[in-house]
Structure 1
Amino acid sequence: MAHEHKHDHGRDHDHGQDQKPGRDRHDHTALDWAVMGPLLESQAELFAPLYERAMAWLAKEQTDPGLIVDVGSGPGVVACLFAETFPGARVDAVDGSEPLLERARARADRQGFGDRFGTLTGELPEVLAELEYPADLLWASRSLHHLGDQRAGLAAFAARLAPGGTLAIMEGGLPSRFLPRDFGIGRPGVEARIDAIEAEWFAQMRADLPGAVTETEDWPALLASAGLKHTGSRSFLLDLPAPAPDRVRAYAASWLTRVRDTYGEALDADDRAALDRLVDPQDPAGVHRRADVFVLAAHTVHTAVRAG
């Protein structure tokens, strides 16, 4: 269950700290987080402005948290942003992947937060019982949807809150975009067609999880059902317009490559050919060279508070 505020499938539903497509599209639970560590880091770094705005919003509710827990932290980019944003807080990064947590600890040490940064390895939500103290702020960015029973997962998250503590989950938002609808290769609208394939992949990933429960994803209602109060939701935008710098181009190329490799069988021949050209570093029409590459993404954060 490693998650770095990510996308689970191809490019979106987890563009953030991290989208994580499966290694084998027929095995929706076979996700190799450790191999994806560098990609998850680069994605989260790119999305840092979005996370910073979300944290500024959270800081209005939690002005001086003692303990912040990042549930499904992946390689720790966002956990370290929390440490920077809340200099008085201890931050615990929780994930199922020890290799990703090793990256998180190294990042915290490099950035000077090592003395107030901890990690906890184990499966969610059970591992949360091992937290030494209740959390004043518990953040779960696109980690909840990796649990078969999301309602039970939220209850487990809520149980680890201190009185007056805030639970913040990042789920939902809008599919990300990198290119104009018609970018001059193949049939216009390829990103919308990829969205549809990703939605099917995501539904199958959820259905294949152990103990999978179908749930209406009304997050404020689910937070309230966990006994929490004062629910709120807000969406945050990442807008990196064209012409894109090299790191944005590299990110777009990495994700389009993963989309092609993950969904190749589901795409028609024209769309596969278009993706082949887009990720080819030597093709003038590829994302490494073209002038119209951008990133536009929106992620939604839902919050609620444990009664004091």
Structure 2
Amino acid sequence: MTPHEHPHPHPHAHSHSHGSGSATEPDWEALGTHLEREAELKAGFIEEAAGWLRDLLGHRDVTRVLDLGSGPGVTTTALAHAFPGAETVAVDSTPGLLERARARAEREGLASRITLREGELPTDLPGLGTADLIWTSNVVHHLGDQRAALESFASALRPGGVLAVRERGLPTRFLPRDIGIGRPGLQARLDAAEEDWFSEMRAQLPGHTRTVEDWPALLVAAGLAPTGSRTFLTDLSAPLDPVARTHLRDRVARFRESLADSLSAEDLATLDTLLDDASPDGILRRPDVFFLTATTVHTAART
């Protein structure tokens, strides 16, 4: 696949506020703007993570980087900046997302160093060649056999190279526990409904194999030596700017659509109020909206 995220088609880096599409196949093309905007909101984490990886690989000359599940290319360009001597390859199964990555590379003056490859993971991995650094973000959980996926990714590492796997972290928070409408604790209930959605999505994947999601242990099972895990905080305090507010409004709209069957009538009514752009309680107008999330990256090296 090309990575955004799946073995069914597409892996890319994405958030889990899924909208239309089947449980296993979000419409990545339609989510392009959302994916790009979310990555831009987390640009600080992405740049910090890229710098950490540069330090981890400081002992070697990095000449090739693979971004598996590149999506719109925000991380791809950050990696290209962090490793100026490397060819950075953006791999994704969605042509529209690769086009966004191409445009971003051109805007940042990186077109000569970033290569775009359309493909499905892990099927097309053998044709991508090897790399000193492989980055994959929220891709593995879209592959039925996560252990086998990591083994295939590890096989594309050059000796001494590093595999960086971004998976899960802490759920995004953007509202206080009590928002003055509906029953307090709305976000905790959204988290629970989304976890059920996630389990259903995993169960429907081709070749689904239940796996204990101990990522460092899975990297060891793939034949690699752990080189550390780090969690990065994205903390945008209230009041948010209009771009971040619009992003969160879209996120809530996707929750309203995709989780409707799992939420109470009261919670659905609360979401409707949050989506009312004319209401002072709506996401676009209320003063207490923030954006807080923690993202974890696990790394391991081929010895």
Instruction: Tell me, yes or no, whether TM beats 0.5.
Output: yes
Query: Counterpart of 2:103 in structure 1: which amino acid?
Result: A
Contact 1:20–1:31 under 8 Å retained in 2: no
Q: Does 1:283 align with 2:244?
A: no
Contact 1:284–1:290 under 8 Å retained in 2: yes
Q: Write the distance in 2 (CA, Å) between the matches of 1:283 and 1:20.
A: 23
Q: Write the distance in 1 (CA, Å) between the matches of 2:221 and 2:126.
A: 20
| Aligned match for 2:136, one of 137, 140, 162 | 140
* Match of residue 160 from structure 1: 156
Please list, as runs of the form range in 1=range in 2, the aligned pairs for 1:1-308 lying within 5 A after superposition: 17-19=14-16, 21-24=18-21, 27-63=22-58, 64-131=61-128, 133-307=129-303
Q: Write the distance in 2 (CA, Å) between the matches of 1:171 and 1:41.
A: 18
Q: Write the distance in 2 (CA, Å) between the matches of 1:304 and 1:243.
A: 39
Query: TM-score if structure 2 supplies the norm length?
Result: 0.94
Q: Write the distance in 2 (CA, Å) between the matches of 1:60 and 1:160.
A: 21
* Match of residue 9 from structure 1: none
Query: TM-score if structure 1 supplies the norm length?
Result: 0.92
Cα distance per residue 1:129-161 (max 9 Å; x no partner):
111x41111001000111000010001000000
Q: Write the distance in 2 (CA, Å) between the matches of 1:5 and 1:77.
A: 15
Q: Secondary structure at the residue paired with 2:182?
A: coil
Structure 1 stretches lacking a partner, 5+ long: 7-13
Q: Secondary structure at the residue paired with 1:114?
A: coil
Q: How far is 1:20 from its partner? A: 5.1
Query: Counterpart of 1:55 in structure 2: which amino acid?
Result: A
Q: Write the distance in 1 (CA, Å) between the matches of 2:4 and 2:289.
A: 24
Contact 1:5–1:18 under 8 Å retained in 2: no
RMSD over aligned Cα, in angstroms? 1.9
Q: How far is 1:5 from its partner? A: 8.4
Q: Secondary structure at the residue paired with 2:210?
A: coil
Cα distance per residue 1:224-269 (max 9 Å; x no partner):
0111013421111001111111111111101001111111121111
Cα distance per residue 1:185-223 (max 9 Å; x no partner):
100001000000000000010010000000001111110
Aligned pairs, number:
297
Q: How far is 1:2 from its partner? A: 5.9
